[in-house]
């Protein structure tokens, strides 16, 4: 070990291994204490799609502001069409041609569509009777002035933007999406294809973050340390080179750039994950092994992204209550993530053991189950919660 490395204020695991790993809950606590929701900003509606509303929004005025036509046709007093039929056309002396959205003229309470009327020379006749209110969109049918339009925390859908405009809003207070920088540290080895950039970017997007370019960096301590302190990100995810080999330079690079606060989490896969800060920005270190990277994102980094986006911090996966089809063995002292598939009887089959690498088993799985550090496993037929890989609690 060189003198400079001896001075680094962190436990270097390279060539030594982890002497202990922290419980996952310590990682969650670190995230909850250091990653906060962004301050609300008032943005024009055009910039708000997909963002969360910071406050509840009420309608400024009634919408529609007056009774108006919901059909193209003739505005009439419904009573004037009484008894009309195709064999008994009734002349409409006070009919006014209207188009959808036109205010209803005074004295009218219905719109008779063109299909239920006929023009005879300059005169209009009803060939069907209409009831009062028929073909009319009433004043305040969508929203009465002062009534709630959308709740605080709502992730704005495209249609919400139109609704907000109808309620008299041109801009609304939203939580801006956190800018997440993804750095691939070292990349795949032995000619393997790059597998993490697209996967991690999709996960960040799911959790409310915005990813700029995905950066490829060499497994070089100086280059990584420099990249960690570059400004412009609210959160940094660095994937790769977190283990115990001589080329695993991500943890010492973060220690040099700022602080490596936790390295080694008692979970499998993903146990070489780490957490720290550079230039005040939280940095999450994910293993490079693709399944370990997925697990460390789901169980650790995703929580940071969701908090930074103002979303609920808990796992976003929809849960399914099921029973095990087989015994699941687990290591005491380590939280184990088992990829599982649901069989025809609704029982959960393990697809691969927690330490089995690669994403093929994750792709074949319907979801995952977690077996806590205090458990040696569960017998077959045991009730258990599956976290779905395909359904989420928020859209």
Ligand X SMILES: Nc1nc2c(c(=O)[nH]1)N[C@H]1C(S)=C(S)[C@@H](COP(=O)(O)OP(=O)(O)OC[C@H]3O[C@@H](n4cnc5c(N)ncnc54)[C@H](O)[C@@H]3O)O[C@H]1N2
- Give yes or no for a contact between 80 and 92, defined as CB atoms under 8 angstroms apart: yes
Q: For the sheet with 258-263, list strands across it.
A: 210-217, 179-185, 235-239, 281-286, 274-278, 258-263
Helix axes 250-257, 221-229, angle to 10 degrees: 50
Is residue 223 at the binding interface for ligand X, with CB under 6 A as the rule? no
- Give yes or no for a contact between 22 and 265, defined as CB atoms under 8 angstroms apart: yes
Contact residue for ligand MOO among 208, 209, 240, 287 (CB under 6 A) = 287
Site for ligand X in 198-217 (CB under 6 A): none
Is residue 186 at the binding interface for ligand MOO, with CB under 6 A as the rule? no
Contacts of 174 (CB under 8 A, 6+ apart): 40, 41, 42, 43, 48, 51, 52, 53, 54, 156
How many Å apart are CA 360 and CA 366, to the nearest integer?
Answer: 12
CB of 354 to ligand MOO, least distance (A): 8
In the structure, how many helices (H) and strands (E) does the chain have? 9, 27
Site for ligand X in 165-184 (CB under 6 A): 184
Say what the alpha-carbon torsion angle 361, 364, 369, 375 is, to the nearest 10 degrees. Answer: -40
Contact residue for ligand MOO among 186, 270, 274, 350 (CB under 6 A) = 270
Is residue 241 at the binding interface for ligand X, with CB under 6 A as the rule? yes
Contact residue for ligand MOO among 272, 281, 324, 330 (CB under 6 A) = 272
Contacts of 14 (CB under 8 A, 6+ apart): 244, 245, 246, 248, 252
- How many residues sit close enough to ligand MOO to count as binding (CB under 6 A)? 8
Nearer to ligand MOO, 112 or 266 (CB): 266
Is residue 289 at the binding interface for ligand X, with CB under 6 A as the rule? yes
Is residue 269 at the binding interface for ligand MOO, with CB under 6 A as the rule? yes
Contact residue for ligand X among 32, 194, 222, 376 (CB under 6 A) = 194
Is residue 110 at the binding interface for ligand MOO, with CB under 6 A as the rule? no
How many Å apart are CA 265 and CA 143, to the nearest integer?
Answer: 51
Is residue 62 at the binding interface for ligand MOO, with CB under 6 A as the rule? no
**Which does residue 196 bind out of ligand MOO, ligand X, none, counting CB within 5 to 8 angstroms by kind?**
ligand X
CB of 24 to ligand MOO, least distance (A): 12
CB of 158 to ligand X, least distance (A): 34
Q: Which helix (H) or strand (E) holds 363?
A: helix 360-364
**Which does residue 73 bind out of ligand MOO, ligand X, none, counting CB within 5 to 8 angstroms by kind?**
none
Nearer to ligand X, 78 or 334 (CB): 334
Instruction: List residues binding ligand X (CB under 6 A).
Output: 17-18, 184, 186-189, 192, 194-196, 240-244, 248, 271-272, 287-290, 292
């Amino acid at each position: 070990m060189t003198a400079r490395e001896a001075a680094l204020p962190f436990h270097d695991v390279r060539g030594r291994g982890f002497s202990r790993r922290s419980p996952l809950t310590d990682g969650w606590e670190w995230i909850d204490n250091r990653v906060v929701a962004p301050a609300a900003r008032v943005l024009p509606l055009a910039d708000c799609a997909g963002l969360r509303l910071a406050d509840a929004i009420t309608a400024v005025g009634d919408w529609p502001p007056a009774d108006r036509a919901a059909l193209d046709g003739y505005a009439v007093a419904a009573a004037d069409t009484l008894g009309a039929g195709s064999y008994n056309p009734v002349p409409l002396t006070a009919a006014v041609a209207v188009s959808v959205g036109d205010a209803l003229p005074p004295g009218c309470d219905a719109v008779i569509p063109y299909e239920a009327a006929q023009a005879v020379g300059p005169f209009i006749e009803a060939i069907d009777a209409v009831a009062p209110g028929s073909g009319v969109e009433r004043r305040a049918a969508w929203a009465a002035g002062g009534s709630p339009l959308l709740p605080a925390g709502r992730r704005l859908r495209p249609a919400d933007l139109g609704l907000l405009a109808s309620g008299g809003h041109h801009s609304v207070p939203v939580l801006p999406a956190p800018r997440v920088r993804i750095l691939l540290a070292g990349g795949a080895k032995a000619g393997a294809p790059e597998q993490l950039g697209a996967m991690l970017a999709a996960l960040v997007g799911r959790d409310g973050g915005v990813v700029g370019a995905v950066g490829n960096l060499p497994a070089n301590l100086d280059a990584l340390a420099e990249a960690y302190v570059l400004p412009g990100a609210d959160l940094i995810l660095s994937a790769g080179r977190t283990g115990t080999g001589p080329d695993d330079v991500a943890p010492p690079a973060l220690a040099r750039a700022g602080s490596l606060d936790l390295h080694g989490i008692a979970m499998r896969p993903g146990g070489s994950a780490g957490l720290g800060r550079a230039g005040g920005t939280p940095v999450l270190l994910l293993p490079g092994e693709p399944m370990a990277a997925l697990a460390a994102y789901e169980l650790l980094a995703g929580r940071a992204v969701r908090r930074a986006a103002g979303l609920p911090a808990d796992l976003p996966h929809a849960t399914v209550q099921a029973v095990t089809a087989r015994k699941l063995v687990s290591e005491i002292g380590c939280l184990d993530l088992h990829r599982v598939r649901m069989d025809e009887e609704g029982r959960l089959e393990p697809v691969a053991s927690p330490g089995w690498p690669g994403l093929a088993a994750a792709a074949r799985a319907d979801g995952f189950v977690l077996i806590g550090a205090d458990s040696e496993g569960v017998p077959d037929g045991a009730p258990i919660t599956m976290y779905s890989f395909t359904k989420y609690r928020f859209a």
